Structure 1
Amino acid sequence: MILFRTIKSFLQDKEYRDLLLTGMAILIIGTLVYHELEGWSYLDAFYFSFITLTTIGYGDFAPQTEWGKIFTILYITIGVGIILAFINTLYLHYSDTIKKRKKKSE
């Protein structure tokens, strides 16, 4: 229940919501570009975008075209910071929510 309440309060805050939308937009852009440049399915393109920006990088996919490689350099430079900021902000929000609930129960 705490997780759902945290997500709900996260989405009600404009700054958090904008960060979420920016993160989603960067993943969608990556998915569309890799689909076009590399000819990957939408699922494969989304998968690659997600594992790249979260710095997991399994290595099972890699751009083969010159434009795909150039895009990847720019995509990582811009996208990693956005995704990590989102993950960090979500964690901090969740952590603050738990602390507030503990103080109320004391």
Structure 2
Amino acid sequence: MITFWMQMRRTIRLLWSLFKDAETRGIAGVTTVLLLSGTLFYAHVEHFTYLDALYFSFTTLTTIGYGDIYPVTAVGKIFTMAYSVIGLGVMGSFLAVVVKKISQFDRRR
């Protein structure tokens, strides 16, 4: 049980250091804008509910892609292709920043 609490403390410290870093906040902001724009697009063009649109945007950006909902209009399919490519770049950048921060955090300890 002590190990669990020590790991939780370490995780909270890491998350706090990520939050304080301007680079991480910037990438997180871009990711939020990307999710919001995808949500609004799919809600209005594909007529998804806002929850379904957010869910589809998230699964597309993270490359999970369950396939339970999908765009049916030509505009929606074209947007999804561009959205996926842009999302891969942004999510890759976010992951790179987080991994870099974790390695810096481990070196300090």
Report TM bin, short chain. Answer: 0.7 to 0.9
Aligned to 1:18: 26
1:1-80 counterparts in 2 under 5 A?
1-80=9-88
Give unmatched runs, 5+ long, in structure 2.
1-8
The answer as to whether partners of 2:61 and 2:91 remain within 8 angstroms in 1 is: yes
Aligned to 1:104: none
The answer as to whether partners of 1:23 and 1:82 remain within 8 angstroms in 2 is: yes
Q: Displaced runs of 4+ in structure 1, greater than 4 A? A: none
TM normalised by structure 1 equals 0.87
Give unmatched runs, 5+ long, in structure 1.
102-106
CA distance in 1 between counterparts of 2:55 and 2:64 reads 11
The answer as to whether partners of 1:54 and 1:84 remain within 8 angstroms in 2 is: no
The CA RMSD measured in Å over matched residues stands at: 1.3
Alignment length, in residue pairs?
A: 101
CA distance in 2 between counterparts of 1:16 and 1:24 reads 12
